[in-house]
Amino acid sequence: MTTRTQTRDPAGRLALNQILQGDCIEIMRSLPEASVDLIFADPPYNLQLRGDLHRPDNSRVDAVDDHWDQFSGFAAYDAFTRDWLAAARRVLKPDGAIWVIGSYHNIFRVGTELQNQGYWMLNDVIWRKSNPMPNFRGKRLTNAHETMIWASRSEGSRYTFNYEALKSLNEGVQMRSDWVLPICTGGERLKDAAGDKAHPTQKPESLLHRVLIGTSNPGDVVLDPFFGTGTTGAVAKMLGRNFIGIEREEAYIQAAKRRLARIRPYDGMAIATTTSKRSEPRIPFGQLVERGMLRPGEELYSIGNRYTARVRADGSLIGNDVKGSIHQVGAALEGAPSCNGWTYWHYRREGKMVSIDALRQQIRAEMENRPN
């Protein structure tokens, strides 16, 4: 397979923010070594599905039976994993890191090979789906999570970890290794011309938001060797990171290009992450940003409409040179000892002012069903 897109610009430098079409192993081998800060990879899971599956109402489940997920067996899948992980390691900078997402079908083989190649595991992170598909036949547990492995290139790598930014996203409490986020549905889910899903396994932007905020910096180069419809590129562009996408399927590339063209990066102020210590409990305000309920850079208005502040990507606010939580910034602007930011701040939708507390109520309503 040939690469239709140039991997270098006219000056010989790595060409950024574009999609390279072709086999990711070949293309990564053609890229300059030690040129990438972070890799996010969503490789084929090697699902081994038997017959059709129907819901109790007799509707048929749309299975992931695409040709790119077919392997002849574990040996073939292991060889594939070995090759792409080795090629990926070569293009990583010495202090670079990688994320790989998978399910029980493939993640153990990926993790073993990561360790074999000298990657250094930092965490395994559980994406707990708030709305997974149930087990229709009642023969197993609801498969309600996927596993991500976060590993640095080597044991000694000084990897990027924005501890305070993640703590801020979690409203002042240390971020844990289990992340509760909804699957990608609704308006975020890309559709093809026929109205069907453009890609069978599109990941939610909230997941990539947290990954990139936590383990990369603005200006970094983020590589996704299984680009699909470009969630990694989309979030990277929003957050001021550079991306390189590699994808084989023409249809996915076209969908990704259309998607990326619509993305507008947040401005630098919104992307800057908190470095100060803070503390608060309960529903993290940052979840509103992660879930796309509020956009980084979006303006909030005080209860009397006298002050404004802007939302930042890590869930902190900035207004009149004051940075901090929704509560801290509100208190500072009012000259008050304290302030309930949830009732103090409002956002504008369709010309009307709405309290951000409405968004918190919305999340709480979702959580009611699945508190665990």
Of 5, 103, 154, 217, the one binding DNA (CB under 7 A) is 103
- Is the Cβ of residue 237 or residue 291 nearer to DNA in the bound state? 291
What is the spatial distance between Cα 211 and Cα 214, in angstroms, rounded to a whole number?
5
What is the spatial distance between Cα 23 and Cα 38, in angstroms, rounded to a whole number?
19
Per-residue binding letters, 241-280, with DNA (x by CB under 7 A): ----------------------------------x-----
Half-sphere exposure (Cβ direction) of 233: Cα atoms closer than 13 Å: 28
Residue 344 contacts residue 357 (beta carbons within 8 Å): no
Q: How far is CA 349 from CA 298, 301, 316, 354, in A?
A: 11, 12, 20, 7
- What does 109 interact with, of DNA, its own copies, none (CB < 5 to 8 A by kind)? its own copies
- What does 225 interact with, of DNA, its own copies, none (CB < 5 to 8 A by kind)? none
Residue 78 contacts residue 116 (beta carbons within 8 Å): no
Binding site for its own copies (CB under 8 A): 60, 64, 66-67, 70-71, 74, 103-105, 107-112, 114-118, 121-126, 128, 132, 134-135, 138-145, 147, 149-150, 155, 161, 163, 166, 170, 173-180, 278-279, 281-284, 364, 367-369, 371-372
- What does 144 interact with, of its own copies, DNA, none (CB < 5 to 8 A by kind)? its own copies
Number of neighbouring beta carbons within 10 Å of residue 160: 16
User: Residue 163 phi/psi, 5° resolution?
Assistant: -55, -50
- What does 145 interact with, of DNA, its own copies, none (CB < 5 to 8 A by kind)? its own copies
- What does 80 interact with, of its own copies, DNA, none (CB < 5 to 8 A by kind)? none
- Side by side, the strands of the sheet bearing 322-324 are 322-324, 317-319, 308-311, 299-301, 346-349, 352-355
Residue 80 contacts residue 68 (beta carbons within 8 Å): no
Of 1, 174, 305, 350, the one binding DNA (CB under 7 A) is 174
- Is the Cβ of residue 177 or residue 340 nearer to DNA in the bound state? 177
Of 40, 45, 84, 344, the one binding DNA (CB under 7 A) is 45
The DSSP secondary structure of 262-291, one letter per residue, reads H--PPPHHHHPPP-S-----SS-THHHHHT
User: What burial class does residue 164 get, using C-beta atoms within 10 Å of its C-beta: 0-12 exposed, 13-18 middle, 19+ buried?
Assistant: middle
Check binding of 357 to DNA (CB under 7 A): no
- What does 149 interact with, of its own copies, DNA, none (CB < 5 to 8 A by kind)? its own copies
- What does 321 interact with, of its own copies, DNA, none (CB < 5 to 8 A by kind)? none
Check binding of 50 to DNA (CB under 7 A): yes
CB of 109 to DNA, least distance (A): 10
Check binding of 49 to DNA (CB under 7 A): yes
- Is the Cβ of residue 166 or residue 212 nearer to DNA in the bound state? 166
Of 29, 197, 257, 259, the one binding DNA (CB under 7 A) is 197
- Is the Cβ of residue 112 or residue 340 nearer to DNA in the bound state? 112
What is the spatial distance between Cα 200 and Cα 189, in angstroms, rounded to a whole number?
10
Task: Name the amino acid, one letter, at 290.
Answer: E
Check binding of 215 to DNA (CB under 7 A): no
What is the spatial distance between Cα 139 and Cα 144, in angstroms, rounded to a whole number?
14
Residue 298 contacts residue 347 (beta carbons within 8 Å): yes
Kindly give the interhelix angle for 205-215 and 231-238, rounded to the nearest 10 degrees.
50
- Is the Cβ of residue 71 or residue 227 nearer to its own copies in the bound state? 71
Closest CA to 206 of 180, 245, 174, 243: 180
- Is the Cβ of residue 98 or residue 333 nearer to DNA in the bound state? 98
Check binding of 37 to DNA (CB under 7 A): no
Contacts to DNA by CB under 7 A: 42-57, 59, 61-64, 69, 103-105, 115, 120-123, 130-140, 142-143, 146, 158, 163-164, 167, 173-174, 182-187, 189, 197, 200-202, 275, 366, 369-370
